[in-house]
Amino acid sequence: MRVVSLVPSLTEAVARTAPGLLVGVTDWCTHPRDLTAARIGGTKNPDVAAIAALAPDLVIANEEENRAPDLDALRAAGLDVLVTEVRTLDQALAELHRVLVDGCGLARPRWLDEAEAAWAALPPPSWSPRPAAVPIWRRPWMVLGRDTFAGDLLARLGIRNVYADHAERYPRIPLDELNASGAELIVLPDEPYRFTADDGPEAFPALPAALVDGRLLTWYGPSLAEAARALPSALR
C-alpha cells in the first residue's frame, strides 16, 4: 500500500507501525528523524500535483491541520482521502485505530495499546483543577481556547484552561488580559511558537511558568505514552 500523510502526528504513527507505507509527507513531518518519503509541501499548502504523481492508495488528513479546498482538490484528482477529527484523547485513540487498522489495513499496534493504558492508569484529576492559560503564539499573543486536544489532555492532568469556554478555539488575547485572567499557571509549549526560559516567562512576572514539550502536549501518536509519563511532572 502507498500512503501520503498530510499530518505530522499521523506520519509518525504510520512510520512507527509500518514505515514502508509512506511515500509522501509534509515539510512539517519531523518524526521519526529518518523519514525518507517525498516531501509534498506544507500542511496548509500541499502540492496536489506532486501528491497525485505519487499514486497513493490513501491520503490521510485532519480537519484542523488541512484545508478543505486542498482535500477537495485531492479527491477531484481521484485520490482516496481519509479525514480525521481529533479534539480529545478518546477521539485521538479512536482515529489512530481508524487510520492504521481500517485505513491502512494494519494490525493494531502495541504502542497504541500502551498509550491508551498509560493514560488510563493516571489518577483522576483533582476536584479543584489549577487554572492556567496556555499561550501558543506571541506577537500577537494567542492561546488555547475551546475544544482542543491539548486542552483535553491538560484537563485530565488537573489543569483547567481559563479560556476553555471562549467562542474561538485559538483566540488572540492581549497580554494585559492574560495576566489578569485568573490563571495561576502559564503553560508554555515549544511549538508552534518556540517558547523558552528566555522567551515567554518574562511576560508573566507574577505567575509561575511551565515550559513543556509541545510534541507531548499537541501530537497524537506514539508520543502519547511518553506524554502520560512526562507531562504531570512538567506541569507541577
Q: Is the peptide bond before 109 cis (omega within 30 degrees of 0)?
A: no
Mean pLDDT of 122-127: 87
pLDDT at position 236 is 85
Query: Residue 126 corresponds to which cell in the numbers above?
Result: 483533582
Query: Residue 12 corresponds to which cell in the numbers above?
Result: 509518525
pLDDT at position 122 is 96
Write out pLDDT tens, residues 5-24.
999 999 999 999 998 999 99
The rounded Cα 102 to chain-centroid distance in angstroms is 21
Q: Is the pLDDT of residue 126 over 80?
A: no
Q: Is the pLDDT of residue 139 over 80?
A: yes
Q: Is the peptide bond before 208 cis (omega within 30 degrees of 0)?
A: no
Q: Is the pLDDT of residue 147 over 80?
A: yes
Mean pLDDT of 156-185: 97
Q: What is the 3-state secondary structure (H, E, C) of the chain?
A: CCEEECCHHHHHHHHHHCHHHEEEECCCCCCCCCCCCEECECCCCECHHHHHHCCCCEEEEECCCCCHHHHHHHHHCCCCEEEECCCCHHHHHHHHHHHHHHHCCCCCCHHHHHHHHHHHCCCCCCCCCEEEECEEECCCCEECCCCCHHHHHHHHCCEEECCCCCCCCCCECCHHHHHCCCCCEEEEECCCCCCECCECHHHCCCCCEEEECHHHHHCCCCHHHHHHHHHHHHCC
Write out pLDDT tens, residues 66-114.
999 999 999 999 999 999 999 999 999 999 999 999 999 999 999 999 9
pLDDT at position 218 is 97
Q: Is the pLDDT of residue 197 over 90?
A: yes
When the pLDDT of each residue in the chain is averaged and rounded to a whole number, the result is 97
pLDDT at position 98 is 98
Q: How far apart are CA 131 and CA 112, in angstroms?
A: 30
